Chain A
Amino acid sequence: MNSQTLAIHGATCQHCVKTIEKALGAVAGVREVHVDLQQQSVTVDGNADRGALRAALEDAGYAAEDDEPDAPPPPPDSPPPPDSPPTADRPDDQDLSLSVTGAHCASCVRTIEGALHGVPGVREASMNLANHTARVRGSARPDDLVRAVQNAGYDAAPVRDPARAEDDREQQERQLYRKLVRQTSVALAVGLPIMLWGWFGGTMTVQAGTASQWGWGAVSVITFLMLAFPGRHFFVGAWKAFRHHNANMDTLIAVGTGAAWGYSTLVVIAPNLLPEMARHVYFEASPMIIGLVNLGLALELRARGKTGAAVKRLLNLGAKTARRLDDDGENDVPVEEIRVDDRLRVRPGETIAVDGEVLEGDSEVDESMLTGEPMPVVKSAGDTVAAGTLNGSGTLVYRATRVGADTALARIIDLVKKAQGAKPPIGRLADTVAGVFVPTILLIAVATALIWYNVGPQPVAAYMVVASVTVLIIACPCALGLATPMSVMVAVGKAAESGILIRQDAALQTAAELDTVVLDKTGTITEGRPSVTRVTAADGQDQDTVLRLAASLEAGSEHPLARAILDAAEQRGLKTATVSDFRAVNGKGVSARLDGTLLRLGNRRWLEQEGLAVGLEDAARQLSEEAATPLFLARDDTVIGVLGVADRIKADAAEAIARLRDRDIQVVMITGDIQATADAIARQAGVDRVLAEVLPEDKAREVEKLQNQGRKVAMVGDGINDAPALAQADVGFAIGTGTDVAIESASITLMSGSLHGVADAMAISRATLRNIKQNLFGAFIYNSLGVPVAAGLLYPFTGWLLSPVIAGAAMSLSSVTVVSNANRLRFFKPRGHHGPRAQTGDHS
């Protein structure tokens, strides 16, 4: 046994060590591997072949240029050799991002950068460990870059601008569409004349040894060309599927058209094999079917393009550039180059580029494209702004807090895309049927042929072919397979436009079946923060004075109650005065001096303890009934007024709850408040039932209790404190206030704070379910009527037998119908709520 040492290159972290140990450990004869990162060398014990070791190192991506360890290792981030030839197929200086997986330490970064620099054509490569993205500038091909990263022991995939990827997709679909239209026209141009010839009394039979045999022979060759060119993709697909023991739509079309052509050609070549009555040719069938099915595919492609409109609209919201405030002034930079903590300026009418926090400026921002809330939101220093929203008439300077894939917009797009592939349970039956559909149709086609053979009239051979070909062609697995996914895709996009994000597969369906909605009180029914609900002045005083003095007193305080009073004063345009000797008495109130007078604001007990006669009993009682907390204001020794402060219910909460109750949905309010306060809010909101004094951790249990009574329960909460209850409910709604909402926390997220979202979501869900049912019903009925009629079930009674060409048209239409019906959902409007403005993508 001996030991040998080899030089390595680019190994910088424990991940690399493991990769090398694994690679060399697999070489025959290796007993032990020791990697020395410091020396960039590896010592191998055992009697392995040096060449094999070097090869293994090369495969792992760590081979040094020079075998010997004493040669100084080139720095991992060495620039590429100057003579690296630029690759011709990519223009110079393209920007490319790679998403890299497996990099865990800072030194991996250097390895990856080194590996990327090693690819010919790379001018610049930088790896960002935080978002696992490597950015490469130069002319290298993405495939080569991915391979280089893989060879270095990591994995990578090219990342592309989603908006551009969407454009590419459309481009490809347009190409495919044109190709299908071309194939359709060629096939129909051949099929139609033959069909018309038959219709207008031309002979479709073959007489042996006559000119008709030669003529039909030529037609046979021409129609074969139709199978070989416009119909080629059916045959290739069918054959490939067959080899995999699969059968698909291609199988049906290929076997059907192939059989029609084969039989007709047999008639032409050897008419004598068949009885005279059976010497009929069906050359029109194959080109007509190929033409019609291709036409159907083209129409379907068109219709499908619209189903993705919602995602496209979201993609288009993103800004392309942003104005960054650098040390040397303001620069317009591509949005990809913005990093967290960059300072950005957004001018009037511009789109906000990334998520951030406002540093200076005041403006109104239109967030409707994300939240569905039509009213613009006022933003000033300290507020958050979201990428994709539209700045109003002011200028804002903000600090980037989330960029790239982390912005709310990016996460929403991601979520919507994922949800569009969701499978609600209603589609399961169709899935099961679709899985066995095609082989079953093949069996039915053969059985049809046998039945016609045994009990059919003469000429049996012709009837056998026509009936079984028609069965193969009319059967449409696509309609069945498309029924659910198309509707889901449109519905999820539709919901996203209204600020409703559906995350969980089943939620789309379950939301239609709910009969109980549990609403958390704080932040769901109410605003979630205190505000002044009423100001009552004592005799001889006026409200404005009371409010102005209270606000002056609280001006220096950070307390939420102080905020509420200051906001109320500001709304009435009252100016606060400066006070001195401010003092806060914990849990009781505050006092300060203003121009020599002593002002005190606090609860009744405190003021009474201070020796004041408080009075104002009626006003205080009224406030208690409204679930507001009374705060009394005293000037020197006189109480001059009382302010009611409460967590007010949202402006549209009662209306939204009424909408739910109109649908016979029981609305339950759940809260930790004492019964009296809870009842007061419940009266204002108009809920059916109140569950008060419920500890936060018991909310989930209350939801479970309702479920045990056989109810389908939705829980609506803020998604943070209510997470267990949201998870317990059949559908959990997280209700947001603007774009900050934790969208991953519930099965459905309402981006706007309005409870109308719950009713809207349920309305969309019901409409979707109805649409899916129509589609499934249509697809099942179509197939279960079409196939028997095609097989000739009606023939004994009425003499009807479908032509394969009609079958081809019917089959094309059926899948187009399903897609079009799903598209109808785009025009659905949740009832009773003057919903969000339709937004278009032209802000960027």
Chain B
Amino acid sequence: MSLLINVTGLALMALIVWWFWLSSKGRPAKRASGGAIDIVVEDGVYEPSVIEADAGETLTLRFDRRDPSPCAEQVVFHKLDVSRTLPVGEKTTVTLTPKTPGTYRFTCQMQMYQGTLIVH
């Protein structure tokens, strides 16, 4: 019994590490292909939350904020120095042209909403 509980606990910890940090490949990515990508901002998540694009490509992201809680009020693209206020019930367009390949996070001010922009 004791062993079982300990093993279960450790397995749970391993699962947390794996699910939240290691298995990000499993996330559904949206590939930019010329047109605008709509991102729904609701219930604590950006949907889709992973965007892929090629370096130098101009990306048009339309954030559709449906969550009125102030957490969702801004979207901040770290390292790209872009931030935008998102009015509720509207689509706010963010245009970006990331030049350097890499992984860029975009989050709300409080980092509760999290998304990733992967530039190839």
Residues of chain A at the chain B interface (Cβ within 8 Å):
155, 157-158, 160, 165, 168-169, 172-173, 175-176, 233, 236-238, 240-250, 297, 300-301, 304, 417-418, 420-423, 431, 434-439, 442-443, 446-447, 449-450, 453-454, 477-478, 481-482, 485, 505
Contacts and interface: CB of A to CB of B under 8 A. Distances in A.
Residue among B10, B60, B88, B105 with the highest chain A CB neighbour number at 10 A:
B88
Contact of B68 (A165, A176, A420): A176
Contacts of A165: 87
Nearest to B74: A421
B49 A482 contact: no
A155 B36 contact: yes
A297 B26 contact: no
Interface in B1-32: 2, 5-6, 9-10, 12-13, 16-17, 19-21, 23-24, 26-27
Interface string B80-100: 010111011111110000000
Given A244-B45, A449-B9, A478 B112 contact: yes
A442 B13 CA distance: 8
Contacts of A434: 110-111
Contacts of B56: none
Nearest to A434: B111
Given A240-B44, A248-B114, A434-B111, A443 B70 contact: no
Contact of A157 (B12, B21, B74, B91): B91
A246 B45 contact: yes
Given A175-B68, A236-B43, A244 B83 contact: no
B90 to A, nearest CB: 7
B42 to A, nearest CB: 8
A627 B42 CA distance: 66
B78 interface: yes
Contacts of B5: 450, 453
A196 B113 CA distance: 37
Contacts of B109: 421, 481-482, 485
A482 to B, nearest CB: 6
Nearest to A505: B81
B76 interface: yes
Contact of B44 (A160, A175, A238): A238
A504 to B, nearest CB: 9
Contacts of B33: none
21 contacts: A160-B87, A165-B87, A172-B88, A233-B43, A237-B43, A237-B44, A244-B46, A245-B19, A300-B70, A423-B78, A434-B111, A435-B114, A446-B9, A449-B9, A450-B6, A450-B9, A453-B2, A453-B6, A453-B9, A454-B2, A478-B71
B49 A439 contact: no
Main secondary structure of the interface of B (DSSP, over half): mixed
Interface in B58-75: 60, 62, 68-71, 74
Contacts of B114: 244, 246, 248, 435
Contacts of B88: 168-169, 172
Contact of B20 (A246, A454, A481, A485): A246
A172 B108 CA distance: 18
B49 A244 contact: yes
Given A158-B90, A176-B68, A244-B27, A446 B12 contact: yes
A138 to B, nearest CB: 20
B113 A248 contact: yes
Contacts of A436: 21
Contacts of A301: 69-70
What is the interface residue range for chain B against chain A? 35 or more
A161 B93 CA distance: 17
B68 A248 contact: no
A423 B81 CA distance: 8
A443 B27 contact: no
Nearest to B18: A245
Contacts of B13: 443, 446-447
Contact of B85 (A173, A243, A417): A417
B52 to A, nearest CB: 15
B83 A423 contact: yes
Nearest to B36: A155
Given A158-B90, A176-B69, A477 B21 contact: no
Contacts of A248: 44, 112-114
A247 B20 contact: yes
Given A435-B107, A454-B6, A481-B109, 14 more contacts: A157-B92, A157-B93, A169-B88, A173-B70, A244-B47, A246-B114, A248-B112, A300-B70, A431-B78, A443-B13, A450-B5, A477-B110, A485-B74, A485-B109
B111 A481 contact: yes
A421 B85 contact: yes
A172 B70 CA distance: 10
B10 A450 contact: yes
Nearest to B69: A176
Contacts of B70: 173, 300-301, 304
B89 to A, nearest CB: 8
Nearest to A417: B85
Contacts of A443: 13, 16-17
A330 to B, nearest CB: 36
Contact of A478 (B47, B81, B93, B110): B110
A561 B70 CA distance: 57
Contacts of B60: 155
Contacts of B9: 446-447, 449-450, 453
Contact of A237 (B6, B21, B45, B108): B45
B111 to A, nearest CB: 4
A423 B76 contact: yes
A244 B76 CA distance: 19
Contacts of B42: 240
Contacts of A454: 2, 6
Given A237-B44, A443-B13, A450-B6, A422 B83 contact: yes
Contacts of A417: 85
B77 to A, nearest CB: 10
A176 B44 CA distance: 15
B23 A245 contact: yes
A240 B40 CA distance: 12
Contacts of A449: 9
Contacts of A431: 78, 111
A300 B45 CA distance: 20
A248 to B, nearest CB: 4
Contacts of A477: 110-112
Contacts of B20: 245-247, 438-439, 442
A107 B107 CA distance: 40
Contacts of A297: 69
Nearest to A421: B83
A708 B111 CA distance: 37
Nearest to A158: B90
A454 B4 CA distance: 12
Contact of A421 (B36, B62, B76, B113): B76
Nearest to B75: A421
Nearest to A419: B83
Given A169-B88, A248-B44, A449-B9, A482 B110 contact: yes
Nearest to A101: B93
